[in-house]
Structure 1
Amino acid sequence: MRLLVVCLGNICRSPVAEGVLRARIAASTLAGRVELDSAGTGDWHVGQPPDRRAIANAAEHGIDISGLRARQLAAADYQRFDWLLCADHANLRDVEARAPRGSHARAALLLDWAGVDGDGEVPDPYTGGPAQFEHVFQLLDRAADGAIARLRREYRL
């Protein structure tokens, strides 16, 4: 199974989601069975590390995302990944609109795909403060639990 988490700039939500998912998968029976990456629909931050506030918040929870670098969603991602898991409806619309003809990947909202109750969106904390980054972390932590449960069902583990 190959999963790509997508947000707007790939410096807040998607790298935190990648970090949380990567840690959970590594500690589970799914280790070595899931390929994971993150990307943004925009190109503003390509090559940059995650937002310093996202790095700090993830580190408070024992997750190091400081080595990740932002990249933009590419046409090849539609063939490489099984799922493009989007942070919000705007990202989902962008991902669907950019899909090349004959794409392999399916797109969904990350929270919905992971079975997290709510409105299906991970709010962008970029213009907020520590409370917004913590709220996003908590949502993504719940999404990681749901993703692990879903993947275990699909792998029958």
Structure 2
Amino acid sequence: MIKILFVCMGNICRSPTAEGVFRHMLCENKLEDLVDVDSAGTHGYHVGEAPDLRTQRAAARRGYDLSGIRARKVAPQDIEYFDLILAMDRNSLEALLLVCPPDRTDRLGLFMDYSKNFDDEEVPDPYYGLGQGFDLVLDMVEDATSGLVEFVKERAAMLGSKDYKTFK
């Protein structure tokens, strides 16, 4: 099983969007049994809260249900547990590096590294903007998620998953 964690600052906009879109695309590709996915924030501002309503509405318009996700703060055990910890921006990545043991930094990266159609390194935080930022976040997340799903397929094939045949 491949374990992936998405991280932003508060875990109510970008990282839960990535979690929800990724879960959806995993199911579409019959990969859900091969991946454990979660999201968290570098700060505990919203622990226990559902994603921002604007985030949920934008996601729902595209067929993604984020209502079951609850915000949480990254925990030290996350660094050990997850194989891949993907930050939505450089500030989140820097915060992760501060708590990450030196022998685990290879697990950290930027989510947008999986993007095929955006040159941006970061997913912008839509929290303080008007409404259109949430759609841009979804555009970026869908694109990077598509690349991440391809990575998971390649990784599953490399690991010799017997189930790999079912998601070609």
Residue 12 of structure 2: aligned partner: 11
Secondary structure, in 3 states, of the residue corresponding to 2:16? helix
**Separation in 2 of the partners of 1:27 and 1:8?**
28
CA offset at residue 29 of structure 1? 3.4
Task: Provide Cα deviations, 1:48-101, integer angstroms capped at 9, x if missing partner.
Answer: 110000000000001110111000000000111001100000100110111146
**Separation in 2 of the partners of 1:104 and 1:155?**
22
**Separation in 1 of the partners of 2:9 and 2:148?**
21
CA contact (8 A) 1:45 1:70 kept: yes
Identity %: 38
Matched, 1:144 2:145: yes
| Structure 1 or 2: more helix by fraction | 2
CA offset at residue 31 of structure 1? 2.3
CA contact (8 A) 2:115 2:145 kept: no
Secondary structure, in 3 states, of the residue corresponding to 1:76? helix
Q: Scaled by the length of structure 1, what TM-score is found?
A: 0.94
**Separation in 2 of the partners of 1:115 and 1:52?**
26
Alignment of 1:25-36 (within 5 A): 25-36=26-37
Aligned length in residues = 156
**Separation in 2 of the partners of 1:34 and 1:72?**
21
CA contact (8 A) 1:81 1:104 kept: no
- Segments of 5+ residues of structure 1 without an aligned counterpart are none
- Segments of 5+ residues of structure 2 without an aligned counterpart are 158-163
Counterpart residue type for residue 96 of structure 1: L
Matched, 1:63 2:43: no
Q: Scaled by the length of structure 2, what TM-score is found?
A: 0.88
Secondary structure, in 3 states, of the residue corresponding to 2:112? helix
Secondary structure, in 3 states, of the residue corresponding to 1:32? coil
CA RMSD of aligned residues (A): 1.4
> Rg bigger for which structure?
2
Counterpart residue type for residue 53 of structure 2: R
Residue 22 of structure 2: aligned partner: 21
CA contact (8 A) 1:53 1:130 kept: yes
